[in-house]
């Protein structure tokens, strides 16, 4: 896990002759990667799983092991791309898209390094329908868990959000909108132009959402490790 797979290591896994080349292997097709993983999996047995690291595992391992990517390269990970963390396993396991029709199954998450600045990496995605030059990989061997992974909730608490927004619309939008003409001596307009005042108050409330809103609860795993609990901070 702490080093990228070299050409020498890849050749040994595949049972091929090698010349001791220790440069990082790249330009592998996804079929070649899966075939190599199957060979290693057969060697380590059924108690462990062999695959590429997930994004969460990669980030965690980098902070502990301090490895770096070569300049101007990318490292292929095991996750399918997603635009947020909802539905992700909280124990670091890969996030796999099970939808057969999903185009995201044709891609995998990757970490890309800056072409000139060492240590600068960012998350992206890479296609697996064709081999990619300068796309490296490393193998992860992880003990299999019999427990189903706890996942971040797929959907936000929309009812709580609607209640919050309704309260803010009333307090910082609608009520002030009606009070302004009253304080300025145009009390009649509060009755005659109520539709305009109501609409204006709602619009002001929506605009204020771009500036500030209370933080949503953070989800924590309980001590038993079997339930997520939202806690406001």
CB 206 within 8 A of CB 172: no
Predicted pLDDT of residue 233 = 59
7-65 per-position pLDDT tens digit = 999 999 999 887 888 899 999 999 999 999 999 999 999 999 999 999 999 999 998 88
Residue-level pLDDT at 1: 61
172, 164 contact by CB (below 8 A): no
What's residue 220's pLDDT?
74
Average pLDDT, the chain: 89
For residues 102 and 106, give the distance between their C-alpha atoms in angstroms, rounded to a whole number. 8
Query: What are the E-state strand segments in the chain?
Result: 48-51, 74-76, 107-113, 121-127, 135-136, 140-143, 218-221, 228-231
The pLDDT of residue 28 is 95
- 8-11-12-13 Cα dihedral, nearest 10 degrees: 120
CA 161/CA 87 separation, integer angstroms: 19
- What pLDDT was estimated at residue 224? 66
For the chain, residues with pLDDT lower than 50 are none
What confidence score (pLDDT) does residue 161 get?
87
């Amino acid at each position: 896990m702490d080093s990228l797979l070299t050409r020498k290591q890849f050749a040994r896994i595949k049972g091929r002759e090698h010349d001791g080349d220790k440069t990082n292997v790249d330009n592998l097709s996804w079929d070649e990667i899966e075939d190599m993983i199957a060979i290693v999996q057969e060697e380590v047995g059924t108690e462990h799983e062999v695959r590429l690291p997930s994004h969460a595992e990669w980030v965690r391992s980098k902070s502990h092991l301090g490895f770096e990517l070569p300049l101007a390269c990318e490292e292929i990970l095991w996750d399918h791309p997603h635009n947020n963390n909802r539905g992700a396993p909280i124990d670091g396991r890969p996030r796999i898209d099970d939808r057969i029709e999903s185009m995201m199954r044709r891609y995998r998450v990757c970490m890309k390094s800056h072409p000139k600045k060492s240590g600068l990496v960012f998350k992206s995605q890479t296609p697996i329908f064709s081999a990619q030059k300068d796309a490296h990989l490393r193998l992860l061997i992880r003990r299999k868990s019999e427990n189903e992974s706890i996942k971040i909730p797929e959907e936000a608490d929309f009812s709580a959000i609607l209640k919050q927004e309704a309260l803010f619309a009333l307090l910082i939008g609608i009520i002030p909108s009606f009070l302004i003409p009253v304080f300025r001596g145009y009390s009649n307009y509060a009755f005659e132009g109520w539709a305009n005042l109501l609409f204006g108050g709602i619009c002001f409330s929506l605009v204020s959402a771009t500036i500030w809103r209370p933080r949503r609860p953070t989800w924590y795993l309980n001590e038993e490790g079997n339930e997520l609990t939202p806690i406001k901070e």
